Chain A
Amino acid sequence: MSENYKIVIVGAGPGGLSAAGRAAQSGISHVLLEASPHLASTIHHFQKGKSVMAEPALLPLRSSMSFAAGVREEILAIWQQEIDQYRVNVRLASQVTDISGCAGDFCITLATGETLHADYVVLAIGLQGNIRKLAVPGEDLPGVQYQLDDPDEFSNETIVVVGGGDAGVENALGLARQNRVILVNRHEEFSDCKALNHERLMAAVAQGKMETRVSTYTECIEALAGDSLVYVAQTPLGQERIACHRVIARLGAKPPRPLLEHFGVVFPNADSTAVPQLSEQYESNVPGLYIVGALAGYPLIKQAMNQGYEVIEYILGNPVEPADEALLRAKFVDVPDVFSVSDGIALLRRNLPLLLPLTTLQLREFMLDSAVLILRRGAVVFNSNDYSNSFYSILQGCVAIETEDGQGEVNVFGLHEGEFFGEMGLLSGRRRSGTAVVSQDCVLVETPRRSMLKLLYSSKGVQRRLDEVSLKRVVRACLDTALPESELDYLVQGAQAKLYAAGDALFCEGDTADGLYLIRRGSVTVSRQREGREVVLAYLPAGNYVGEMALVSGQPRSATVRAASPAEIILLEASRVGEVLGRNTLLRSKVGSQFLENVRDEHTRDEASGHGDSGLVNFLLEQGVGEASDVLLIDYARCIRCNNCETSCADAHDGTSRLDREAGATYAQIHVPTSCRHCEHPHCMKDCPPDAIHRSVNGEVYIGDNCIGCGNCQTNCPYGVIQMAVEQEYHTRSVWQVIFGIGKREAQQGADLPKKAVKCDMCKDILGGPVCVRACPTGAAMRGHPEELLNYAE
C-alpha cells in the first residue's frame, strides 16, 4: 500500500522537528520519518546531563518549537511535549533507503519496503549517520572509539581525545574529572568550538586538569600487550608517543554523499567537506527536494531549526525572510545597485571568485562576520608598515597596491573587481608590505582575521584558491616585484608550502641545494658549525628568502637554516628557479648582488664570531625575540635597579605595572624583563571569546574594553606578561604632591572584585612613546625590533 502526503520530512533532528512542527501547525498533510527509535537521535546520544547551547547568540530563533540553552533532558522533554501538542505525524524506526521522482510526485522507499508518496521532500538527516574515522593505521583497534555516551563509564585511565570541535572538547571535559585526558587538536587554536566550551576548556587546562596538544596530527595507533595502546602523533616539537588506555576520536562526520548522490543531489566539487549546492530557499538541484541543517553546512541547532521553519514557509509559497536577513540588509544598505540581501549575495557570488566554493548559505554566514566598506577614489585602505590584519575582497572598483623595494623604487600594481588583498599581513602577522589606495570608487568586503582563519580552516576550496594567488604574490614580494606573470606561474608550479616548528632545520650545512626557500610566515636563523658549536650568523624574518647561495654557486649548502619561530616556507624547485634566473637578467643581477652581499656579511660575521658571542643571539631567540615585533631589553651594565620603569608604567596605566623588571632571564648583562613582546602571531589573541585583543596599525597588541576577564590570554601567553587586575580609580600624584612627598599610590586589592586582563600596550595612547624606556634615567631600557636587537647583539 502507499500513502500520500504533501510534505515528507526525513530526519527528526532539530531541523526536521522544527519543519514538522511548522507543517503540523499549518495543517498540511505531512509525515516525519526518523531512522532511529528516538526523536533527535544525536541529542539523545549526547552525554547525560550535557548542557546544550544556543549559538550563535546574535541570531534570533524562529520556529514553532521552542529552544533555549539548557540541559539535554529538558530540551528533549519539551520537544516531545510540543510534538504531541501540535499532533505531529511521526514515524520512528523508519529508515529511508531511496527517494525518486520529482516535485509533486516523489516516491520514498523505506527499509521496511513500504513506499510513501509526497509532493515535496525535506531532507534534514544531519551528518551523524556517517562518522569520520582517524584514517591512520590502527584506527579500528579495540580501545579506539568514535562515540562516547557516558563519560562516567571510565575512570583512572589515560585517554587521548582527538578533535578540537565541540564533541571532542566536551568529551575531554567530561572524562577529565576522573581520568588523565590529553586533548589533541589538529589546528593551532581551539577555534572550532563554541565560546562557552572554549572557556571551560581553558579553565580546565589552567587548573592542570587536562593536557592539550595543538597543531598535532595523528600518525598511528599501536596496540600493546594487555589492552593498552600507544598513540603516536606528530607535534610541532617532533614525534610524541603517548601510552594510553583508550583513544576517543571525535572528528565530526562526513555528508552521506553517496546516499545523496543516489537521490540525484549534485555536489559542487570533490572535496570531502563540500556541501550540496542549494538555492537560497534550501532547494537542491532536484526540484522539490529541500535540504536543511548540518547537511546543508549549518551545524548549529538554532540555524537548523530556523531553516526547518523557513523551508516549510517557502514550500507553502510564503516568502519569509531568513532570520539573519535584517542583519545582512544593514550591511548592504549603501552598496549601489544592491536592493536586497539576495542581490548582495548574488553580487558576492558573481564578483568574488575566491568565494565560489561557498554555498549561498555559507556566503551569508561569511557576510555576517564581515563589513562592507564603500570608499571613494584616493582613500587609503591601509598604509605600508601598518600592523592591521583584516582581509579585503574587492566587490566593485579598483585598488592600487604600492610597494617600495630596498632601493627605494616604488612599484604599483592594480587590483580589480573580484581580486583580494591583505592576505600577506593576515598570513605573515607582519606589517603591511604595501599601501593600498582606492584607485576607482570601490566597494570592499573587510573580513576580520579570526573569521578569515576560520573560513580557511573549514573550506579547502577557498584555501586552495587563496593559495594559488597568494603564492605568486609571495614570490613576487620576496624575489622581484617586476617579474612577469608568466614567469611567476612557471615558478609557482611545483612550489610546495612547508611548515616548520621552531628549531627545525630547513636544510643543513653540506646538503645539496634543493631549491629556494621563501619565508612566508615566522622567521629563521642562519648558522654554521664552529668548533663543534652552531654559531648563529643571521636572523631573517618573513618576506625574505634563503638558500640562494648554493643555487647561484652550485656548491653544497654553506650554512644551516633553522626556523626561529613556527614558520611557513615556500620551496621553489631548484631547476625552475635556475631557468627563470637564466631568462631574467634583472632578477639574476638582483639575486647575484644579494648573494655577494651575503658572502660579504658572512665573512665579517665569521670574523666577529671568532671572538664575539653568538650565545647571546641564541639566548635572545630562546626568550622569544624571534617571534616578537617589539621587545623591551634592559642593559644591566647600566641599569641602576631603580625600578622607575615599573613605577612609571604603573603611573601611566592606572596603577598596575605591565612589566616586571626583576623577573625574566639575564645573559651577559642583557636582561629580558617580563614584558610583552608584541608577537607577530600573538598567542594571547588565539582564544579571546569577546575578540577583545587587537593589534593597532602601529603594531601594539592591546586589550580592548570589552575584555570579560576570562583569563585565556593569560594562560596562552608563553611569556607570562598578562595579568588579571582589578579595575580601579587611579589618580596620579600632582606636581605638588610629588614635591612634598604626599599622596601615596595605593592600589586597592580585593579577591572578589571583578578582574580584567591587562598587558603592555606600548603606551600607544601616550605622546612620546613607551614610558618604561623614557623613564629610564640611564638609558638602560630599550625597545626594538628583533632584527635591530639581534644585529646589535652580534
Chain B
Amino acid sequence: MRIACPHCGPRGLDEFLYTQDASVTRPKDGGAAPTPEWTDYVYLRENARGPRREYWYHSAGCHAWLVLTRDVSTHEILSVELP
C-alpha cells in the first residue's frame, strides 16, 4: 500500500501505522462513569467488509494523524484526509 500523505505526498506503507477505527467517537460526557457508551467506544467494532474509515499515523514522516477511507476487502485507499 502507498498512502498519499497530505503533507508529504505518496509514501510507502512502512512509514505509517494503523491504530484504530475512525468510525467510533469518544463520548463527550467527561468520563465520570464507565457507561456502555464508553465500553462500546473502546471495545466494540463493526469490522465489516468494504470501505472503512480508520486512523493512521505518519510515524516515520510528519507525525500527522490521517483519516483513511480504505476498502478492507481490496486494500484500495479511497481517500486520505486530515482529522
Same complex: no
